[in-house]
Amino acid sequence: MDIRAPEQQYNPYRIFTREQWARLRDDTPMTLEPGEFERLRSLHDRLDLNEVEDIYLPLSRLLSIYVDATSRLFQAQRQFLGIRDRKVPYIIGIAGSVAGGKSTTARVLQALLARWSPRPKVDLVTTDGFLYPNAVLERLGLIQKKGFPASYDLPLLLSFLSDIKAGRRGVRAPVYSHLSWDIVPNQWQEVDQPDILIVEGVNVLQTGRLPRDGKAVPVVSDFFDFSVYIDAEEPVLREWYVKRWLTLRDTAFHDPRSYFHRYAPLSDEEAIATATAIWERTNLANLEENILPTRPRATLILKKGADHVIESVALRRL
């Protein structure tokens, strides 16, 4: 994986082949049971013993080092400042394209990190819940750009993360339904002082436009202690998206409550054409304009091949 421009002499990342990265596992124990892989894996994604051993156990070991170092730095700062602040959660952001496998990575990390000693509390939140409801997106003319930065209630998301970082109890996040493709009214996910919080979403590494007056403009990634970008080539992502869409046509779309129920009767040819058009109109545009440009902001980049196997890892230098 070469994330440098041809003329760039300094690469801010150390690049590891899969084999090099796998050796960094050292003695990190396997804490997942074989039966858990299917539960943690997203539709059409790949997750097996080799992927966990070669990729996620070394990543778990690395994160344990980062979390421990951050905790020690916090204690030193607290002593220096003479304050009694409670240690706030360590927040991990996971970004990348639609259909790239972010959800699998988020769930696997949550499962692994929650089994560290002495069993930290690890919560997972997706930014889907912070999308504006469809009625609002329709009114704003943004329904065709759902998933673009403008389609999120950014003040609500920033308020949520600010409350989490302040150590407040019972912080609530809205709930999103992939069946109705909309926010679920009056339903909430409560996040109550976790030790680690994983935040997953396509645009979590987005930056804001710099203000001319120099005032502080917070962005979501300001609250992250570590971030992961799930990377793959665009033709591969398109193929994964279309395959997933075809599977959903044969399953979830048949539910009358599904937002996409009208697509259930489509033939294979019609479904492929429809899914490809949605990809190009919305997901590809979002990838090129908003998601991919944030890749160099990640602490770690996991590069996938066409078979969903992670082929290389890039870790930002300290």
Please tell me whether residue 207 adopts helix, strand or coil conformation: coil
Return the pLDDT at 94. Answer: 98
Q: Of the candidates 30, 12, 22, which has an alpha carbon nearest to the alpha carbon of residue 55? A: 22
Return the pLDDT at 3. Answer: 56
The mean pLDDT value for 16-36 works out to 94
Domains of the chain, residue spans: 13-316
Q: Of the candidates 244, 232, 314, 235, which has an alpha carbon nearest to the alpha carbon of residue 55? A: 314
- CA angle at residue 250 from 124 to 258, to 5 degrees? 60
Q: What is the mean pLDDT of the chain?
A: 94
- Let me know: does 30 contact 53? Beta carbons within 8 Å: yes
The mean pLDDT value for 3-17 works out to 76
Return the pLDDT at 44. Answer: 81
pLDDT in tens, 62-85: 999 999 999 999 999 999 999 988
pLDDT band at residue 19 using 50, 70 and 90 as cut-offs: very high
Query: Given a cut of 70, is residue 7 above it in pLDDT?
Result: no
Give the separation between CA 170 and CA 175, rounded to whole angstroms: 15
pLDDT in tens, 165-196: 999 999 999 999 999 999 999 999 999 999 99
Alpha helix stretches (DSSP H) within 82-101: none
* Exposed/middle/buried for residue 136 (C-beta within 10 Å: 0-12, 13-18, 19+): middle
The DSSP annotation for 110-150 comes to HHHHTTSTT---EEEEEGGGGBPPHHHHHHHT-GGGBTBGG
Return the pLDDT at 294. Answer: 97
Residue holding tokens 């070669």? 54
The mean pLDDT value for 12-16 works out to 95
Residue holding tokens 């679920």? 184
What are the structure tokens assigned to 180, written together?
A: 């109705």
164: left (phi over 0), alpha (psi -120 to 50) or beta: alpha
- CA angle at residue 18 from 111 to 302, to 5 degrees? 55
What letter does residue 30 receive in the DSSP assignment?
Answer: P
Where is 20: in which H helix or E strand? helix 18-22
Return the pLDDT at 209. Answer: 82
99: left (phi over 0), alpha (psi -120 to 50) or beta: left
Task: Find out if CATH 3.40.50.300 is the number for domain 13-316.
Answer: yes
pLDDT band at residue 40 using 50, 70 and 90 as cut-offs: very high
pTM of the predicted model, to two decimals?
A: 0.95
Alpha helix stretches (DSSP H) within 146-228: 154-165
Return the pLDDT at 146. Answer: 96
What are the structure tokens assigned to 314, written together?
A: 């890039």
Q: What is the dihedral of CA 44, 48, 53, 54, to 10 degrees?
A: -50
* Exposed/middle/buried for residue 4 (C-beta within 10 Å: 0-12, 13-18, 19+): middle
Non-local CB neighbours of 165 within 8 Å, separated by 6+ positions? 88, 89, 91, 223
Give the separation between CA 51 and CA 45, rounded to whole angstroms: 11
